[in-house]
Amino acid sequence: MALDIDVLIVFADSDNQPSGWVTAFKKFLEAMLEQVSGQTPKVILKNEFDTMTSPRLDNAGVLIAILSKDFIQSPACMEYVEKFHAATQPTAALINRVFKVFKTPVSTSEQPPRLRELFGYEMYQLDLDSGESREFSDYFTTEAERQYWMELIDVSYDIHDTLIFLKEGKSPYEAAKVFQRKTIYLAQTCHDLAVQRNIIHRELQRLGYGVLPAQSLPSNIADLERSVRSDLAAAGVSIHLIGSDYGEIPEGSDRSVQELQHRLASERGLMAKENKEDFPRLIWITPDLTHTGERQKRFIEGLRRDVEASEGAEILQTQLEDFKMILREELEEASEKRMLTENSGQSIYLMHDKVDHEAVKPYIDLIVDSGFNLLMPEFEGELLELRQKHVENLRNLDGAIIFKGKVNEQWVRMKALDLLKAPGFGRKKPIIGKVIVTKDSTLVNKETFKNQNLKVIEGDEESSLNSIKAFLNEFKS
């Protein structure tokens, strides 16, 4: 899709006066989007009194609504949102094209129906003692770094994802399907942990996991429970972040949103146990429990008792970085268990470099046709993700084939060393067999590879394939 405008920012005129808050937001957003995409985005401001005639709204990629009391009370702002929704409705079920950025707090009940269910990005300061909010005037303080810039990074990446989908027709999170990763329910939190939740959310997406809920939770108890139960049913893990604030209580309930999510996740865990399934629950409590009210203290005490009495739940009160490390380990372990269950057959890891991807295709066909699970390296993505995929394959292989085509011997030695180090990566079973395939008869130090139980197969493609076929037959016997 060709777009006349990448981002259309709609705002109430008073929200840009006298400080120029919206103008500053536009400038920072443009710079961030350019860093993310490598291209200069076309970002347009449109206030409620703007008489500028914009291009057709269906030719604008995304709309950002700068939410405030004045925005909600502006008929013109509301009209822009409705017109954009009408113009982009055909893609609404596929990708989110409306983003709400909070300049000041606006409760769910005050928001127009069209915006209520969307995730919001809170870009204001909140005094936890008084509960009062104020806009950032200095964007380079520690507080601004934690709140304003973290939210700006999140909204920039999310907008970038939408623009990729609109322009190229593909989602950047298709990795979730490739890795067969579980969907994770990341419970919504109170304002005091909004930054921490965003950090975890971004980390999970980068690792290829789907994250729910995909929209804001409803404000009444019946719809909220229905929505949370539906998302939990689609998820394989739930994560709950608990802070000092008890949080918002939905209409018709006497419990907070975070307490209700915990209760429903507990129910989901019991149901999974009855069906002999796994549904891990990870609960993180911030070590900094200052300004904690009596009701929140009682909730945390009850939560600890519930976790002690139930299986499948783990409660942690550590620094966020430590929790992130534990979370990754838990998810990788769950992924391993699932792979071992799903891949009841034996797995062959075909280790090769990107430059040799075409040359290994006959070997790929042979491995698959012989009935083995094929493990392959990844070449697209961030370096850390590629390394994690490689380590995951080292944990789960039964046999390994190292293909030396255009790469040098040093590359081969590094891969052979990785096989030796596999137990240190958490490998739980022995490697049945491993070979090196090369057309290069001058491959030196064959004795070194022999000492590592690595057989070297030399020759042209036809003879090498015959030798690999015999190698695979040894597995079956």
How far apart CA 65 and CA 54 sit, in angstroms, is 16
Token pair in block for residue 396: 């789960």
Please tell me the predicted confidence (pLDDT) of residue 51: 64
| CATH C-level class of 1-172 | alpha beta
Nearest to 257 by CA among 283, 230, 225, 289: 225
How far apart CA 65 and CA 9 sit, in angstroms, is 6
Please tell me the predicted confidence (pLDDT) of residue 175: 36
Residues of the chain with pLDDT under 50: 172-180, 340-343
Please tell me the predicted confidence (pLDDT) of residue 356: 92
| CATH C-level class of 173-342 | alpha beta
How far apart CA 235 and CA 186 sit, in angstroms, is 10
Please tell me the predicted confidence (pLDDT) of residue 424: 63
Token pair in block for residue 379: 């070449």
Buried b (16+ CB within 10 A) or exposed e, 350-372: bbbbeeeeebbeebeebbeebeb
- The residues that bridge with 11 in the sheet, in sequence order, are 47
Please tell me the predicted confidence (pLDDT) of residue 260: 94
Please tell me the predicted confidence (pLDDT) of residue 223: 92
| pTM passes above 0.85 | no
| DSSP per-residue letters across 95-158 | S--EEEEESS---GGGS-HHHHTS-EEE-SEE-TTT--EE--S-TTSHHHIIIIIHHHHHHHHH
3-state secondary structure labels for all residues of 410-439: HHHHHHHHHHHHHHHHCCCCCCCEEEEEEC
Domain ranges in the chain?
Answer: 1-172, 173-342, 343-476
Please tell me the predicted confidence (pLDDT) of residue 178: 34
Task: List CB contacts of 100: < 8 A, sequence separation 6 or more.
Answer: 64, 65, 67, 111, 115, 118, 119, 120, 121
Q: Which amino acid is present at 197?
A: R
Residue 396 CA, distance from chain mean position: 23
Please tell me the predicted confidence (pLDDT) of residue 343: 45
Topology of domain 343-476, per CATH? Rossmann fold (3.40.50)
| Identical fold between 1-172 and 343-476 | yes
